[in-house]
């Protein structure tokens, strides 16, 4: 049961979790990592590692296929947004080599990549999603505050709150290809979800993002809240997913009906609306940066994925996790002898161990 994790980067806990899952299932196998940089920490905890080009390079796919064939990879786990459409498109080529790709289809990857399209699709499906605009659609009657960010982006880069008309005019020009969303004023949550390869949710774990650093949770807690779990189920019914995904949402105090904010006229007329509820503002069809908390809480996504790849029956365990488990992160380091660090270009499919 050899497993390939792409773009290992800083995902040391994820690599360790897959290695632990293999041991707990008593399955022989290795966890192998690819990356573009030999200084990436995950390279140094994997059983083996390969340097590969960026995903937009013509050699990327041939090299990944070559690694899967030579290493007899049973499951490929993509981890970054840039690679997801490619892996979603090439499922069949990996399957021909005996490798299951733990990722959603290309159409799902492209939909979630486009944050405007994601929210529009969810809203049309009756799922609570942030009211989202292209800049030209933001007229004077759209109330402040608002939130602006790139239509395609990650890691909270280029994301800003807008509290005045002056800020709106500035950031519309400053942020590349932006979208503008309603400002959601409540606590922020990530909902980690794992679906089987037929799209059925197996596990759903909401986490409050109490402290966020560079777009990734720094401190947070698990929360067993039926509203968040139901929202994740609704999202999975609206969009076909496979493997891991994370749903980003906030609690909203603005009254809504069927997920859509109601206007002031409706509120004045006393029309019935929902109470405060979680509202999705984006979805990422991959592992989240905070997945170690979900795994520690008892929802062992790597173990479940390995069981799926091994052809075992896996029943849903939704709601079966430890609630109110807190996580607080800190930095750690590897100290490497110079012989283990090479910056030159390496031959395709040459392991980092071979170079060292």
Query: Which CATH number goes with the domain that contains 346?
Result: 3.40.50.20
CATH number where 266 lies: 3.30.470.20
- The total number of structural domains in the chain stands at 3
In this structure, the answer to whether residues 50 and 96 fall within a common structural domain is: yes
Top pLDDT among 354 and 334 is at 334
Q: What is the mean pLDDT of the chain?
A: 90
**Which of 182, 200, 232 is the endpoint of a domain?**
182
Asked whether the predicted pLDDT for residue 223 surpasses 50, the reply is yes
φ and ψ of 340, to 5 deg: -95, 5
Question: Which residues sit opposite 32 in a β-bridge?
Answer: 4, 48
pLDDT of 261 reads 60
Asked whether the beta carbons of 280 and 248 are under 8 A apart, the reply is: yes
**Which of 164, 182, 200 is the endpoint of a domain?**
182
Instruction: Give which of 270, 269, 252 is closest to 261, Cα–Cα.
Output: 252
Number of H helices, E strands in the chain: 12, 17
123 lies in some domain: no
In this structure, the answer to whether residues 173 and 197 fall within a common structural domain is: no
In this structure, the answer to whether residues 267 and 348 fall within a common structural domain is: no
Of 163-172, 253-262, 296-305, the poorest mean pLDDT is in 253-262
CA angle 98, 195, 242 (to 5 degrees): 50
In this structure, the answer to whether residues 89 and 151 fall within a common structural domain is: no
Strands 48-51 and 31-35: parallel
128 lies in some domain: no
129 lies in some domain: no
In this structure, the answer to whether residues 162 and 252 fall within a common structural domain is: no
Q: What is the pTM of this model?
A: 0.89
Q: C-alpha distances in angstroms, 21 versus 14, 17, 71, 129, 335?
A: 10, 6, 19, 35, 26
In this structure, the answer to whether residues 200 and 312 fall within a common structural domain is: yes
Q: Taking the alpha carbons of 104, 106, 110, 111 in that order, is the dihedral positive or negative?
A: negative
Asked whether the predicted pLDDT for residue 343 surpasses 60, the reply is no
Secondary structure (3-state) at 193: strand
In this structure, the answer to whether residues 321 and 241 fall within a common structural domain is: yes
348 lies in some domain: yes
In this structure, the answer to whether residues 344 and 300 fall within a common structural domain is: no
Q: What is the pLDDT of residues 273-307, one digit of tens each?
A: 456 799 999 999 999 999 999 999 999 999 999 99
pLDDT of 259 reads 53
pLDDT of 266 reads 44
| Residues of the domain holding 324 | 188-328
What integer is the mean pLDDT of 81-89?
97
In this structure, the answer to whether residues 46 and 87 fall within a common structural domain is: yes
In this structure, the answer to whether residues 7 and 91 fall within a common structural domain is: yes
**Tokens of residue 289, six digits:** 């940066």
What integer is the mean pLDDT of 124-142?
93
Asked whether the predicted pLDDT for residue 210 surpasses 80, the reply is yes
| Angle, in degrees to the nearest 10, between helices 106-113 and 115-124 | 100
In this structure, the answer to whether residues 268 and 317 fall within a common structural domain is: yes
112 lies in some domain: no
pLDDT of 140 reads 84
In this structure, the answer to whether residues 319 and 341 fall within a common structural domain is: no
131 lies in some domain: no
Top pLDDT among 157 and 34 is at 34
Q: How many CB atoms lie within 10 A of CB 215?
A: 13
DSSP state of 344: S
**Which of 182, 211, 241 is the endpoint of a domain?**
182
320 lies in some domain: yes
250 lies in some domain: yes
Instruction: Give which of 47, 96, 32 is closest to 69, Cα–Cα.
Output: 96
Cα(307)–Cα(22) distance, integer angstroms: 10
């Amino acid at each position: 049961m050899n497993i390939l994790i792409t773009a290992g980067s800083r995902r040391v806990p994820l690599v360790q979790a897959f290695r632990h899952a293999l041991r707990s299932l008593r399955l022989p196998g290795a966890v192998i990592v690819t990356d573009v940089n030999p200084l990436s920490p995950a390279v140094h905890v994997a059983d083996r590692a390969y340097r590969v080009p960026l995903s937009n390079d013509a050699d990327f796919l041939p090299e990944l296929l070559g690694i899967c064939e030579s290493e007899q990879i049973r499951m490929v786990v993509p981890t970054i947004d840039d690679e997801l459409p490619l892996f979603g498109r090439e499922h069949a080529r990996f399957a021909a080599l005996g490798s299951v790709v733990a990722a959603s289809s290309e159409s799902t990857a492209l939909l979630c990549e486009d944050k405007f399209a994601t929210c529009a699709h969810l809203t049309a499906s009756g799922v609570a999603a942030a009211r989202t605009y292209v800049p030209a659609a933001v007229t004077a009657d759209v109330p402040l505050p608002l939130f602006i960010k790139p239509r395609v982006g990650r890691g909270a880069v280029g994301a800003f709150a807008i509290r005045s008309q002056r800020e709106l005019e500035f950031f519309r020009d400053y942020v590349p290809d932006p979208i503008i969303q309603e400002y959601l004023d409540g606590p922020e949550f990530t909902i980690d979800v794992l679906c089987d390869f037929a799209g059925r949710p197996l596990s759903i774990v909401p986490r409050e993002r109490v402290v966020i650093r560079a777009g990734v949770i720094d401190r947070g807690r698990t929360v067993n809240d039926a509203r968040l779990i139901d929202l994740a189920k609704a999202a999975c019914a609206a969009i076909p997913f496979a493997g891991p995904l994370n749903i980003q949402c906030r609690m909203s105090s603005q009254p809504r009906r069927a997920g859509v904010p109601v206007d002031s006229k409706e509120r004045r007329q006393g029309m019935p609306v929902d109470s405060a509820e979680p509202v999705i503002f984006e979805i990422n069809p991959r592992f989240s940066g905070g997945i170690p908390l979900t795994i520690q809480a008892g929802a062992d996504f790597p173990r479940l994925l390995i069981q799926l790849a091994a052809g075992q029956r896996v029943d849903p365990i939704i709601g079966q996790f430890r609630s109110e488990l807190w996580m607080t992160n800190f930095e750690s380091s590897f100290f490497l002898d110079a012989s283990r660090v090479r910056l030159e270009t390496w031959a395709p499919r040459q392991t980092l161990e071979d170079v060292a």
